[in-house]
Chain A
Amino acid sequence: MFYRESGDFKTSYAADQQTFPIRFDRWAIGLVCAFAFLVMPFLINDYWEKSVLLPFLVWAMAALGLNILTGYCGQVSLGTGGFMAVGAYASYKLTTSFPELNLFIVILLSGGVTATVGILFGLPSLRIKGFYLAVATLAAQFFLVWLFNKVPWFYNYSASGMITAPERTMLGIAISGPNSPPWATYLFCLVIVVFFAVIAKNLTRGRIGRSWMAIRDMDIAAEIIGVAPLKAKLSAFAISSFYIGVSGAMFFMVYLGAAEPTEAFGIDKSFLVLFMIIIGGLGSIFGSFVGAAFMTLMPVLFKNIMVGGLGWPTDLVSHIIFMLIGGLIMFFLIVEPHGLAQLWRVTKEKLRLWPFPH
């Protein structure tokens, strides 16, 4: 009744091919974006910025990247943490070598550097598949973290091997460093994430995205109908690594401000992002966001309810959260093996028929 297509006529090819064909969807997304851009900056405080919104945006970006590679192109990767480290260290080296460079450009260039590294580590995907490829990308994860620990050039020879984001401003407002206002860092990340989410959505609807999906569904058949596996797989690795690199750069420059490779970009980060896209939904842009929200916001929410609200001991709570999140993951995957995005898709179908299901 509220969610319907009747009366939503398309009179041109452009209208028929638009990103969101249902008017209600367009309205809903428009409202969410308007709220995120116009209202949220006025409500935000330090806690919201550092504990809720920035982690969500950063991880959503990483999940988008991995979803392109794993969800759309079918190449399993366990190197996400390592690629995020490449993005972070690239942004650190760039911004300390060229302090006057605009932070937007620094972050995009870091994405570019990561894309190059991603292509390099994507080369084995032309020969190996599935679990074997996962192991090859696992090697990337360990190699990259080892590299950033081992070579002092990457951390500018600091005594502890720690990298610290210097203050960088844009239009006179600090974006990185301790003096940055919460709304500025939030808007900075939001602009990047929304922009690249739209790009990703359109990439996956276009020729290149269809070639990824063809490779994912059956690579030999795809090859026969004329999809070049080399181009499809390597472009997926490049674009996915670009996204992950940008997310790593934001993670370090804007969100944390200091990082060391072993802890910030360890193997657990690779698994975290993989879980996000599995929970959210493989091969879904919306799923990347939902998965990132689930994995980053749930623990914070539970912690606030149990410690802040109920006053339980902190160690007990952290154990309960561990079990609760694990239980929820199992519950959602049993109820809907294709992730939360599929749950939403099913709901959407039901809503379109409601209140007169055939």
Chain B
Amino acid sequence: MKLTKLTAVAVAATMALGTVTASADLVFPSLSYRTGPYAPNGIPFADGYADYFTLLNERDGGIGGVPIRMIECETGYNTEKGVECYESTKGEGSLVYQPLSTGITYQLIPKATADGIPVHSMGYGRTSAANGAVFSNIFNYPGTYWDAASIIVKHVSDLESGDLNGKKIALVYHNSAYGKEPIRTLEELSKKHGFELSLLAVDHPGQEQKSQWLQIRRERPDYVLMWGWGVMNQVAIQEAANIRYPMDQFIGIWWSASENDVIPAGDGANGYKAVTFHGVGADFGVYDDLKKHVVDTGKTAGDGSNLGTVLYNRGMYAAMLASEAAATAQKIHGVGDITPQQMRDGMEALKVDQARMTELGLKDFGPEINVSCANHGGPGLGAIQQWDASSSSWSLITDFVEADRDVVDALIAEDSAAFAAENNITPRDCG
């Protein structure tokens, strides 16, 4: 039984290492992916997330005087590894999970709810989790995929001076839970506005898109929307440039809009648009502090090359919202070393107004956030950003506008009711 013994030893070692005692600190796990086909997008986000917590530790000594401990765990955007990461970190008192993957979020929704740990899927995950009455532990503020879909359609409609009747819109999407998420909303919107919707699925990892773009070339849709992630984004933008599709009619979700996605296509990507829920660039006060406390002291999580990029900003924003929620929880419960349950209360009572944003060095970075028991989806505002290839920068070309709440809210109510019925959940009374 030599080999069985070997396995037994291996297994014993795993167990010994898997259990580490928790001390008085705030644990924020970072389920990141720095390897695999999604790494180009995973790295800047993970860096931003880590650097902001480092900044808080260095500058303020943590949150409310309690130091932050961030545990990083590599998921490779893979759900099984994501589950392993969740199980290995939850025992350390993890306060909130941000897996940056819709697939992993779907895995964690029932598990984390049963364990009483909140999940913040910021602008991804299951859209109907916006209904806090059903999804007590899941948050997706400040906006959802369905908000995004409706904001893009609104923008398109503005370009067509309000009339989309008979227009053709194609959706190029990642063939997974993530990519399929907006379809239902777009179908509703196509009924409402009278445009014709065609769906083009791209399989994981998305390097092969010739046939999809051939179809676009043939059908000549008036607009192409994209729900892509990882290498799929770069390939799609390159393909669009190759068939000379007009870039200002090609609009991505906020996950298909980082520098990594557009730079490989060079000048061809000029004019590419995407929806976003926060500001762009490095022109914010917080970057001075980051430079002073993190970059200059050599404490950056990555190689420091991602500062100011879209996904770095987003990772930082995610960390900022998490730390604000932790601070709120500390205030509500009057303790420094909060538990995941208290963190959940903090997230549900989270308020970040412009005054607070300015204080944090993020003036006009994003819309005000006001989470409530019933609404975990946040304000649902989005703006359109556009890529300028000559200066290699994004700029916001619209204000933050509201989604078509009639359509989105009805769909959220329907989908969350179906989830509640399937899982025997009685919606909470949110007063």
A-side residues, CB < 8 A to B, are 28, 32, 46-52, 55, 149, 158-162, 164, 166-167, 177-179, 256-260, 262-264, 266, 290, 293, 297-298, 300-301, 303-305, 307-309, 313-315, 317-319, 322, 340, 343-344, 347
Contacts and interface: CB of A to CB of B under 8 A. Distances in A.
Nearest to A293: B7
A318 B83 contact: no
A159 B180 contact: yes
A271 to B, nearest CB: 15
Contact of A304 (B14, B72, B109): B14
Given A162-B103, A297-B10, 19 more contacts: A159-B128, A159-B184, A160-B126, A160-B177, A166-B423, A177-B110, A178-B115, A179-B114, A257-B110, A300-B14, A301-B10, A303-B74, A304-B13, A304-B17, A304-B18, A308-B18, A308-B88, A315-B39, A317-B74
A315 B15 contact: no
B1 interface: yes
A160 B102 contact: yes
Contact of B83 (A50, A162, A303, A314): A50
14 contacts: A28-B1, A47-B88, A47-B91, A50-B84, A158-B418, A159-B183, A160-B177, A177-B423, A256-B79, A257-B110, A257-B111, A297-B11, A300-B14, A309-B17
Contacts of A159: 127-128, 180-181, 183-184, 415
Interface string B4-39: 100100110111011110000000000010110001
A263 B78 contact: yes
A161 B110 CA distance: 17
B76 interface: yes
Interface in B37-54: 39, 43
B12 to A, nearest CB: 10
A48 B11 CA distance: 9
Nearest to B39: A315
A340 B78 CA distance: 28
**For the complex of A and B, 4 pairs with smallest distance between CB atoms:** A315-B34, A178-B114, A178-B110, A160-B177
B177 A305 contact: no
Contact of B35 (A51, A319, A340): A319
Contacts, number: 142
Nearest to B90: A46
A301 B180 contact: no
A51 B87 CA distance: 7
A160 B18 contact: no
Interface range for B? 35 or more
B183 to A, nearest CB: 8
B288 interface: no
Contacts of A161: 176-177, 180
A153 to B, nearest CB: 15
A325 B39 CA distance: 21
A167 B423 CA distance: 7
Contacts of B103: 162, 260, 263
B11 A51 contact: no
Interface of B: 1-4, 7, 10-11, 13-15, 17-20, 32, 34-35, 39, 43, 72-74, 76, 78-80, 83-84, 87-88, 90-91, 102-103, 106-107, 109-111, 113-115, 126-128, 175-178, 180-181, 183-184, 201, 203-204, 415, 418, 422-424
Contacts of B114: 178-179
A158 B78 CA distance: 21
Given A178-B110, A178-B113, A344 B2 contact: yes
A195 B175 CA distance: 37
Contacts of B1: 28, 32
Contacts of A177: 110, 423
Contacts of B113: 178
A159 to B, nearest CB: 5
A314 B7 contact: no
A285 to B, nearest CB: 14
DSSP majority for the A interface?
Answer: helix
B312 to A, nearest CB: 16
Nearest to B419: A164
Nearest to A289: B4
Residue among A46, A162, A298, A314 having the largest count of chain B Cβ atoms under 10 Å: A314
A179 B267 CA distance: 53
Contacts of A178: 110-111, 113-115
Contact of B106 (A149, A164, A308, A318): A164
A52 B110 contact: no
B106 A262 contact: no
A300 B181 CA distance: 32
A257 B107 contact: yes
Nearest to A50: B87
Contact of B422 (A164, A290, A322, A343): A164
A164 B79 CA distance: 13
B181 A164 contact: no
B204 A300 contact: no
B197 to A, nearest CB: 15
A18 to B, nearest CB: 19
Contact of A162 (B19, B84, B177, B183): B177
Contacts of A297: 7, 10-11, 14
Contacts of B90: 46
A304 B88 CA distance: 9
Contacts of A50: 83-84, 87
Given A162-B106, A262-B176, A314-B32, A347 B184 contact: no
A343 B181 CA distance: 49
A275 B183 CA distance: 37
Given A162-B106, A297-B10, A344-B3, A47 B78 contact: no
B102 A48 contact: no
Contacts of A290: 3
A290 B2 CA distance: 11
B188 to A, nearest CB: 11
A153 B325 CA distance: 40
Contacts of B2: 344, 347
A47 B18 contact: yes
A52 B74 contact: no
B35 A264 contact: no
Contacts of B102: 160
B14 A301 contact: yes
A97 B262 CA distance: 46
A318 B180 contact: no
Contact of B13 (A167, A259, A305, A317): A305
Nearest to B125: A160
Contacts of A313: 72
A55 B80 contact: yes
B72 A314 contact: yes
Nearest to A54: B83
Contacts of B11: 52, 297, 301
A333 to B, nearest CB: 15
Contacts of B72: 313-314
A138 to B, nearest CB: 15
Contacts of B10: 297-298, 301
